[in-house]
A and B are shown apart, each in its own frame.
Chain A
């Protein structure tokens, strides 16, 4: 190929230039709005350090309930316990293969959409200096599986809280909050268990599935997880919304804005403490 053709390191006619006639920009707009709204709300809630527990419900932003588990530690740690928790789901989502696709497009314009031109200046650097995921900070994406390990532990805690949400004073029951907590827990589980790294670790790394009993088990896991993995993008988005919805619901009940309908016949509206 012609050397002069190869020598250019950024070919663009300017941001958004394309011959495409479809609404390629809607995904970018949706992503920026959704991630901004969720990000701002999450930061606010992490700093708020309150209204995260009411009745049998615990906000996913504060799960596990570190203040209940280690009360003495919070005598000297004065910040919100959310800061000790949220790095894990943030790291898992931030290094997730689906979210990478999404924010590289929508936020870094690398590229804005398929066959759509980039700007010359990127968010962190001139886009002519494209290095992909080979250098800091994006090389850290390679540690996604470690965030997966932590996410699996968090999912276990979410299930504990989901079961706690249907017990109050030793009586089984449920409320609107229980339904929302269960919905959130199920979708978070689907999101974490459909992870691409998990798909690799449970069997995808093998070249053959027919080497013996362990290979057959690996095939069973890999084959079935692949079905989940195909919808990873959907679980990624929906679980983001249910996490936000779940926290918002608990906050609104805890601060007395709304009342939780439940089979226990109790009104704990407004009794969530500002820790």
Chain B
């Protein structure tokens, strides 16, 4: 860890650009020097830049506390939240490179169009309790604990950005991505939910396209164990229904 005690001039390489007609990122990396104060995160430096050097620099941000998920970008090549990436954790002698999330179409500079994610979300069958009388709903802490982890998601879409199925292969029409497999897991494992989403998970969410290389888990700023606790359990449920002859037979005769 590199620590500095006072204000230090640091070099930033920031992507500036606009999309072409296809939404591809067209632009160049511009160099800026920012007087960085102790404790600053990348977003602090970019807001300084916006205030002093580049007033037209486009950045999406809201809470600056790693809870709104707005300021997702790629910092030194790694998908990260700008508000959670401390500058004193990076080498002082090297410039800090900031680019927009590569997986999504560009709007301007560091802002991308993530609206595809909201369209996918609409296709998921929402919470479907076994009855509508909330006064009868009872479940225990053990059941809550398991799905509670998934509720930590702040929808920054860094997992979607890191996932090579979307990032490199752009399977937007065939794959829901880790964020929505997490949501599907939270619904499928909910003790009160009775909807059957397994066919959707296999066919439309395309869980078979995930080859569990765990980039989503590595880049999740909320430390959700996306692959181990959401995707693999869902894959196993798909196996139960579609591949394992024993569980398929048991399912047919009503044993689950």
**Residues on A facing B (Cβ under 8 Å):** 1-2, 4-12, 18-22, 97, 100-101, 104-105, 110-111, 114-115, 117-118, 127-128, 130-134, 138-139, 142-145, 196-197, 199-201, 204-205, 207-210, 219, 223, 229-230
Tell me if B92 counts as interface (CB < 8 A to partner A): no
Partner of A196, one of B23, B171, B193, B232: B232
Q: Contact: A105 with B213, CB < 8 Å?
A: yes
Instruction: Give chain A nearest CB distance to B230 CB in angstroms.
Output: 11
Residues of A close to B214: CB separation below 8 A: 101
Further pairs besides A11-B170, A200-B232, A210-B140: 10, Cβ < 8 Å: A4-B21, A7-B170, A114-B162, A115-B102, A115-B162, A131-B209, A132-B208, A144-B239, A197-B236, A207-B188
Tell me if B18 counts as interface (CB < 8 A to partner A): no
Partner of B213, one of A9, A11, A110, A117: A110
Q: Which residue of chain B has its CB nearest to the CB of A198?
A: B236
A80–B43 alpha-carbon span in the complex (Å): 63
Residues of A close to B97: CB separation below 8 A: 19, 21
Q: Contact: B213 with A132, CB < 8 Å?
A: no
Q: Contact: B22 with A10, CB < 8 Å?
A: no
Q: Contact: A19 with B77, CB < 8 Å?
A: yes
Residues of A close to B140: CB separation below 8 A: 209-210
Q: Which residue of chain B has its CB nearest to the CB of A12?
A: B168
A110–B171 alpha-carbon span in the complex (Å): 14
Instruction: Give chain B nearest CB distance to A149 CB in angstroms.
Output: 10
Partner of B142, one of A10, A128, A210: A210
- Which residue of A10, A118, A142 has the most chain B CB atoms within 10 A of its CB atom? A142
CB-defined A-B contacts under 8 Å, sample of 5: A1-B105, A115-B79, A132-B206, A134-B209, A142-B235
Chain B 98-113 interface mask (CB, 8 Å, partner A; 1/0)? 0100100100000001
Q: Which residue of chain A has its CB nearest to the CB of B115?
A: A1
What 9 A-B pairs are tightest by C-beta distance, nearest first? A19-B77, A20-B77, A132-B209, A4-B22, A114-B215, A200-B236, A134-B208, A208-B191, A142-B243
Q: Contact: A20 with B78, CB < 8 Å?
A: yes
With A4-B22, A131-B209 as contacts: A19 and B99 at CB distance below 8 Å: yes
Tell me if B143 counts as interface (CB < 8 A to partner A): yes
Tell me if B81 counts as interface (CB < 8 A to partner A): no
Chain B 14-45 interface mask (CB, 8 Å, partner A; 1/0)? 00000001111000000000000000000000
Partner of A204, one of B116, B173, B233, B243: B233
Instruction: Give chain A nearest CB distance to B45 CB in angstroms.
Output: 17
A138–B208 alpha-carbon span in the complex (Å): 9
Tell me if B56 counts as interface (CB < 8 A to partner A): no
Q: Contact: B76 with A5, CB < 8 Å?
A: no
Instruction: Give chain A nearest CB distance to B144 CB in angstroms.
Output: 10
Tell me if B165 counts as interface (CB < 8 A to partner A): yes
Residues of A close to B227: CB separation below 8 A: 97, 101
Partner of B170, one of A6, A19, A142, A145: A6
Residues of B close to A115: CB separation below 8 A: 74, 77-79, 102, 162, 167, 215
Q: Which residue of chain B has its CB nearest to the CB of A142?
A: B243
A142–B234 alpha-carbon span in the complex (Å): 12
Interface residues of B in 149-192 (CB under 8 A from A): 162, 164-165, 167-173, 188-191
Instruction: Give chain A nearest CB distance to B109 CB in angstroms.
Output: 16
A198–B58 alpha-carbon span in the complex (Å): 48
Q: Contact: B236 with A205, CB < 8 Å?
A: yes
Tell me if B84 counts as interface (CB < 8 A to partner A): no
Residues of A close to B170: CB separation below 8 A: 5-9, 11
Partner of B169, one of A9, A21, A117, A219: A9
Q: Which residue of chain A has its CB nearest to the CB of B202?
A: A134
A117–B77 alpha-carbon span in the complex (Å): 11
Instruction: Give chain B nearest CB distance to A93 CB in angstroms.
Output: 15
With A19-B76, A132-B209 as contacts: A110 and B164 at CB distance below 8 Å: yes
Interface residues of B in 199-256 (CB under 8 A from A): 206, 208-215, 218-219, 225, 227-228, 232-233, 235-240, 242-244, 256
Q: Contact: A6 with B173, CB < 8 Å?
A: yes
A1–B177 alpha-carbon span in the complex (Å): 16
Q: Which residue of chain B has its CB nearest to the CB of A117?
A: B168
Tell me if B122 counts as interface (CB < 8 A to partner A): no
Q: Contact: A132 with B193, CB < 8 Å?
A: no
Instruction: Give chain A nearest CB distance to B223 CB in angstroms.
Output: 12
Tell me if B94 counts as interface (CB < 8 A to partner A): yes
Instruction: Give chain B nearest CB distance to A213 CB in angstroms.
Output: 14
Q: Which residue of chain B has its CB nearest to the CB of A114?
A: B215
Instruction: Give chain B nearest CB distance to A260 CB in angstroms.
Output: 40
A11–B237 alpha-carbon span in the complex (Å): 32
Q: Contact: B169 with A210, CB < 8 Å?
A: no
